[in-house]
Structures are given as structure tokens and as C-alpha cells.
């Protein structure tokens, strides 16, 4: 479904992506892990069209995305949940969800999203700014699901959440995968991300340095040492 080939991107003169190659097949959950500043968020932003690329290609379902801006990519079915949630605080939960349908013809149902995130049912008429961090993350994912994404890009969904809520969020993400949602997941919690993924990639300084089945990466000594807190 997604093929990224030799992708480069920079912020001014500072290179952020250095020839990245990555693939995601339909129905897969692929985890992208690495340290802060490795380029993970930049890669998601380049795929969704928010961050320009200077070289390389992004193909989605066989289509070259060169020249297609972010709105057009959403219309094709590429939907990103940004780092930091970025819900609209002065608007209700329901209105935030409805905004997810704005740029894409296909639309999910609020009841379907609330069935996945029942914590939001009682909050439906409340202002999003009054929600807890975990509830805001559920809302951000729910807003993306309202667009019925063909490819869901999740950027740091566990950021700033208590351990119990982190486990809950990853359980919901695994449930999305179980019903066939194609997901590219970025998260600092490498163990949790690889634990629910089919395959994984490890980024360092704008490059992919390791790739393979998620279970193999979980047991790779270098990955364990650098990202999982396991010492030889």
C-alpha cells in the first residue's frame, strides 16, 4: 500500500531524512522506533504531505504522491494523528469528531468511534479541552477514524500518558489492526510498539538502520540495549 523510496527531507540546511526506504502492506501494523530526533515524526509528516521532501518518492497504492498536498493525500485515505494530540479545546468532543470528515468524502460514524472509545460517550457534549490526556488521545485517534483512513499514521500516541493509559491505548490500536486497519506507528515506547506490530524499522539520524519482523527486533541485542533498557 505504501512505498517510500530514498526519501530525503531537511529543515533549512539541516538534513532530517537521509535516503529512507520503507514499505507498509495493506492490513499491516508497522512500527517505527528510534531515539528523539531520529526523524520519525518528519517521516510521517513527509508521507502525509505536511513536510516537503527534497529527493525520493512516496507511492500510495501505486500512485506517485509527488506534487500532491496534504489535503489531497487525506482524500486518498492517508490520515495522520499528530504528535501531541492537537484536539480543538474550545469545541465539543462531537464537533472534534465531525471535523475528521472535513477533507475526505468517506466518513465514519460517531457511534462507531464511541464504540471503540467508550470513555468518550459521557463526554460527547463536553469541551475537548476539559478531557484528560488519555481521553484527548482517544479523541484524536477517533477524529482520524471518522475519515475512514486507508492508512493511519499514528505519531507518539502514548506520549505523556500514565502507564495504565499507555496499555489501554495500545490495546485499542491492536484492536484497529485486528479489523484490518493499515497502520504506521511511531512511538518512543519501543517495546509496546513492537509488541503489537507485524514488522518494524529502527531509525537513527534520519536513516533506517534496522528492519525486520517485529518479534525479531524485540529480541535483537542492539535494539534491546539501545531502546528497551536491557543490558548485557
What's 91's DSSP letter? S
Q: Find cell 469545541 and name the residue.
A: 91
Q: What is the pLDDT of residue 211?
A: 97
In a domain, 120, yes or no: no
Q: What is the share, in percent, of the chain residues with pLDDT greater than 70?
A: 97
In a domain, 50, yes or no: yes
In a domain, 178, yes or no: yes
Decide: 62 and 108 in contact? Cβ < 8 Å.
no
Number of domains in the chain: 1
Q: What is the pLDDT of residue 213?
A: 97
Structural domain for 170, as ranges? 2-86+144-227
In a domain, 32, yes or no: yes
In a domain, 18, yes or no: yes
For strands 151-155 and 55-60, give the pairing: unpaired
The segments of the chain whose pLDDT lies below 70 read: 105-107, 229-232
CA atoms in the 13 A half-sphere facing the CB of 141: 28
What cell numbers appear for 3 in the block? 512505498
In a domain, 51, yes or no: yes
In a domain, 221, yes or no: yes
The tens digit of pLDDT for each residue in 173-189 reads: 999 999 999 999 999 89
For strands 14-24 and 2-11, give the pairing: antiparallel
Q: What is the pLDDT of residue 171?
A: 94
Q: What is the pLDDT of residue 230?
A: 65
For strands 14-24 and 151-155, give the pairing: unpaired
In a domain, 125, yes or no: no
**3-state DSSP assignment of residue 12:** coil
CATH label of the domain that carries residue 156: 3.40.50.300
**3-state DSSP assignment of residue 211:** strand
Give dist(CA 209, CA 25) in Å, integer: 20
Amino acid at each position: 500500500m505504501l512505498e517510500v523510496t530514498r526519501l530525503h527531507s531537511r529543515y533549512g540546511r539541516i538534513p532530517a531524512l537521509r535516503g529512507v526506504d520503507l514499505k507498509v502492506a495493506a492490513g499491516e501494523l508497522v512500527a517505527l522506533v528510534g531515539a528523539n530526533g531520529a526523524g520519525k515524526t518528519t517521516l510521517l509528516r513527509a508521507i502525509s504531505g505536511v513536510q516537503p521532501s527534497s529527493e525520493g518518492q512516496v507511492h500510495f497504492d501505486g500512485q506517485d504522491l509527488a506534487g500532491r498536498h496534504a489535503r489531497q493525500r487525506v482524500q486518498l485515505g492517508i490520515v495522520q494523528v499528530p504528535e501531541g494530540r492537537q484536539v480543538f479545546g474550545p469545541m465539543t468532543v462531537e464537533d472534534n469528531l465531525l471535523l475528521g470528515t472535513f477533507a475526505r468524502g468517506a466518513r465514519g460514524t460517531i457511534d462507531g468511534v464511541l464504540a471503540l472509545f467508550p470513555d468518550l460517550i459521557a463526554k460527547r457534549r463536553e469541551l475537548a479541552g476539559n478531557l484528560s490526556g488519555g481521553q484527548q488521545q482517544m479523541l484524536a485517534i477517533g477524529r482520524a477514524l471518522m475519515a475512514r483512513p486507508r492508512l493511519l499514521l499514528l505519531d507518539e500516541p502514548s506520549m505523556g500518558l500514565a502507564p495504565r493509559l499507555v496499555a489501554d491505548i495500545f490495546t485499542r490500536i491492536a484492536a484497529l489492526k485486528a479489523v484490518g486497519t493499515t497502520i504506521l506507528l511511531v512511538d518512543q515506547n519501543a517495546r509496546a510498539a513492537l509488541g503489537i506490530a507485524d514488522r518494524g524499522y529502527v531509525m537513527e539520524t534520519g536513516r533506517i538502520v534496522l528492519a525486520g519482523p517485529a518479534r525479531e527486533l524485540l529480541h535483537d541485542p542492539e535494539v534491546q540495549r539501545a531502546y528497551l533498557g536491557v543490558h548485557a
